[in-house]
Structure 1
Amino acid sequence: MPADEQPIPSVWARPRREREQPALSREHIVAEAVRLLDEEGAEALSMRKLGNRLGAGATSLYRHVANKDELFELAVDEVYGELPLPEPGDATGWRATVARVAHGLRDMILRHPWMAAKLGEVGLAYLGPNMLRQTEHTLAVFEAAGFPLDEADRAMNTVVAYVLGVSTSEAAWLSMVARSGKTQQEWVERLWPAAERAVADYPRLRARYAAQRESDPAKDNETSFEYGLQRVLDGLQSRLG
C-alpha cells in the first residue's frame, strides 16, 4: 500500500466494526480500561491485562480495538463524557460559565490523574464524540460573549492550555502522594525538613515556604488555580473592549 494510502492511526478515523460479541462490547472494554487506569495508572494498561480483568483473551479485545493507542483515545473520550455541557447565556455571564468549565476540567483530571500525561499523546482524541460536544458547547459560550468564531477557538484553547498546565503538575503530585499511602498533609509534613534545607539560601522562597507551613495543600492549590484562571479571563475580557 502506498505511504499516502496508509490508514490514519486513530480509532476515530476508521469505521466501527458492527459485529460485536454480546458479552464484550466496546463500551464494556472502555469502562473497564478506565477503571484499570484509575487504579493502577497508564503504565499498567495492556491488552493482556485488560483481557484478564474482563475474563477474555487479548484476541477478543482486538475485535473491537486495534491497539493500546486506540484504547487510550477511547478512555480519554469516555472520561470527557463526565463533564456537564456548558450552555451559552447572555454576554455578561460568560466568565462564570468558562470558569465552571475550567474547574470541571481540572476536577476531571485530578479524579483520573493518568489523563494529564495522556491528553497530549492520544492522537486524534479531539475527534471523540464527547470531546466534540464539549468543544462545540464551549465555543458557543465564547461566541455568545462576543468573540468571533476564530478568536473564540483561540480563547478556548488558551483556557484549556492553562488548565492542563496546572493540572498536570497537580496530578503528578497526587499520584506521588497516593503511592506513598499517606494523606497530602502527612506527605507535606514528611517533606518539610528537606524543603526548608533546600531553600535556606533563598530568602524569598524561604519566606513563602514559611508562610505556607501550616496551610492546607489542597486549599492552596485551589486558591492558586483560581487566581491564575481569573488572570487568564481578565486578559480575554480585555479583548471584548
Structure 2
Amino acid sequence: MPRDTLTREQIVQTAIQLLDEEGLDGLNMRGLGKRLGAVATAVYWHVKNKDDLIVLAADQVWGEIELPDLATVDWRSAATRMATGLHAMFSRHPWLVQAFGSYLFYGEGKARYDEHCLAVYEAGGFDDAAADRAAATVFTFVLGNVLGTSAMVSLTRRLSRNGKNAEEAIADTMTKATEVAMRFPRLRARLDAPIATEYAGAPEQTFEYGLRVLLDGLEAERAASATPAAERV
C-alpha cells in the first residue's frame, strides 16, 4: 500500500491488533508494514517511531470505555461501571498494562476518561483534592488487579518464543510452588480444602469484592469529612 493511501487511523488500528496478538515485543515497523501491505518507510510518513505508535494505540483503546451518564445513575454505580470498564479494557489489551512501566501516556482518549472520573467523584460530593485522590486510588487498584493476567500473557509468549511448551512449564512451576506452600499451615489448609483453588490463584470475585470495599471506604471518608467536628465527638 503506497504511503499516500495509508492513513494514521489504519496504522494505529492495525498496530492494536498486532499488539493484542504479539505483545510489545512483537510490534515492529517491518511487521506492521507487512500487515498493511506497505513498506515500513511508508508507515513513518504517518507516525514518528514505534514509541509514538504505542502512545497513539494506547490512547485509541482508552476510547473503548463507556462513560455512564451522571444524569441517570448515582455516583457509586457510575464509579463501579467506570472501574469495571477500565478493567475489561486492560484485560483485552494486556500490552498496555506492561507498557505503563516504560511509556508516558497522554491523548484525548485518556483525557476523556480522566475528566469523567473526576466528574463522577465530584457528583458524589468529593471536593477537588478528594476527587483526585479517589480517582487515582481506584485507577491504581484496577491496574494492580489486572497485572497478574497481563504478566501471565507476557510470560506465555516469552516461553513460546524460546521454544518451550508454555503450558507445561507453567504447570511444572505451579507444582513446585504448591510443594513449597504445603510446608506452611495456612496455605496447606487452603490447598487441602474441598474446593481449593490452585496456589497463587485469586479467589472468585476478588475484583468485585475489592472494588466494593474500596468504594465503601472512600464513601465513608467523604461522609466523615463532611460531618462537622462537633457531631463527630
Q: Structure 2-normalised TM-score?
A: 0.81
2:29 paired with 1:30 = no
Matching residue of 1:139: 118
- Say whether the 8 Å CA contact 2:190–2:196 is kept in structure 1: no
2:88 paired with 1:103 = no
2:158 paired with 1:162 = no
Q: Structure 1-normalised TM-score?
A: 0.78
Matching residue of 2:229: none
Matching residue of 1:45: 27
2:186 paired with 1:204 = yes
Cα 1:188–1:93 shift into 2, 3 Å? farther
Aligned residues: 215
Cα 1:198–1:212 shift into 2, 3 Å? farther
Please give the residue correspondences for 1:1-241 in structure 2 after superposition, counting only pairs within 5 Å: 21-89=3-71, 93-123=74-104, 125-126=105-106, 128-176=107-155, 193-211=175-193, 214-215=196-197, 220=202, 222-241=204-223
* Mean Cα deviation higher: 92-101 or 79-88: 92-101
Deviations 1:171-208 (A, max 9, x none): 212444676676xxx99876653333111211111122
Alpha-carbon RMSD: 2.8
Gaps of 5+ in 2: 224-233
One-letter amino acid matched to 1:131: K
Q: Work out the percentage of aligned pairs sharing the same amino acid.
A: 43
- Say whether the 8 Å CA contact 2:3–2:43 is kept in structure 1: no
Deviations 1:30-67 (A, max 9, x none): 00000001111110111121112111122111111111
- Say whether the 8 Å CA contact 1:76–1:119 is kept in structure 2: no
Deviations 1:134-188 (A, max 9, x none): 1111111111100112321221011001110111122212444676676xxx998
